[in-house]
């Protein structure tokens, strides 16, 4: 009970943009490298912290007094890890190398995607030209069939020869239908390649 419909041939190659999720992944990887680089700057800086510690107990801060009392200690703490200064240059080189690898991977991906989309666009243009030729072939086959029918009516051509011309016309129509399907397949392949 399902009827299949041919999709509409509404294709404009200029309206297609590359929406591949890999591009967003490359951007996220670049953002991660930026975060790593900013964390390098904060690792070699001294760290300061405030603390407050309180308690209630026997004895309190005064050891000579034998009763419960509350007490607290407050202060500022500073810690400085000098070890990260020794590895800072190597860590920056590692991040720069990772950034270059990421840019190279992105460029290779874009090159391959653009190459594939260009090939598919050329295949679409070729199929469109082929369909114009198919229309001309069908027009000529119709004229040949009509001439064959006239010759059969006049008795100068056999029915078998006329059937051969009718078959050739039908084959030309089938070839055009095949080319239409191939054109739609190329269009949808291009849309798939660019994620549109």
- Tens-place pLDDT, residues 25-47: 999 999 999 999 888 888 778 88
Handedness of CA 58, 64, 67, 69 (dihedral sign): negative
End-to-end CA distance of the chain: 30
- Of the listed ranges 21-25, 81-85, 107-111, the one predicted with least confidence: 81-85
Q: Is the pLDDT of residue 13 over 70?
A: no
- pLDDT value of position 14: 61
Minimum mean pLDDT range among 5-19, 108-122, 124-138, 145-159: 5-19
Q: What is the mean pLDDT of residues 187-196?
A: 87
> Span 106-122, mean pLDDT?
93
Instruction: Answer yes or no: is pLDDT of 172 > 90.
Output: yes
pLDDT band per the 50, 70, 90 thresholds, residue 64? confident
CA distances from 183 to 11, 17, 46, 193, 195 (A): 10, 20, 65, 15, 18
Q: Please tell me whether the overall predicted TM-score, pTM, comes out greater than 0.75 for this model.
A: no
What sign has the CA pseudo-torsion 101, 104, 110, 115? negative
Q: Would you state the pLDDT for residue 96?
A: 95
Average pLDDT over residues 167-174: 95
Most confident of the ranges 58-67, 133-142, 183-192: 133-142
Identify the CA nearest to 179 among candidates 139, 107, 125, 121.
125
Interval 58-85 mean pLDDT? 81
Spatial CA neighbour of 120 closest among 18, 45, 50, 51: 18
């Amino acid at each position: 009970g399902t009827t299949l419909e041919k999709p509409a041939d509404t294709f404009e190659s200029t309206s297609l943009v590359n929406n591949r999720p890999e591009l967003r992944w490359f951007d996220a990887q670049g953002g991660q490298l930026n975060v790593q680089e900013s964390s390098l700057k904060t690792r070699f800086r001294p760290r300061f912290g405030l603390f407050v510690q309180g308690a209630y107990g026997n004895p309190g801060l005064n050891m000579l007094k034998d009763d419960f009392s509350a007490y607290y200690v407050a202060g500022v703490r500073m810690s400085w890890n000098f070890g990260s200064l020794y590895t800072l240059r190597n860590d920056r080189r590692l991040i720069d190398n990772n950034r270059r690898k990421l840019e190279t991977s992105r460029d290779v991906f874009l090159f391959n995607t653009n190459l594939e989309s260009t090939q598919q666009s050329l295949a679409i243009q070729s199929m469109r030209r082929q369909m114009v030729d198919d229309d001309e072939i069908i027009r000529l086959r119709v004229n040949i069939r009509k001439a064959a029918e006239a010759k059969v009516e006049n008795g100068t051509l056999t029915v078998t020869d006329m059937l051969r011309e009718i078959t050739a016309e039908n084959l030309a129509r089938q070839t055009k239908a095949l080319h239409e399907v191939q054109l739609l397949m190329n269009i949808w392949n291009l849309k798939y390649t660019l994620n549109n």
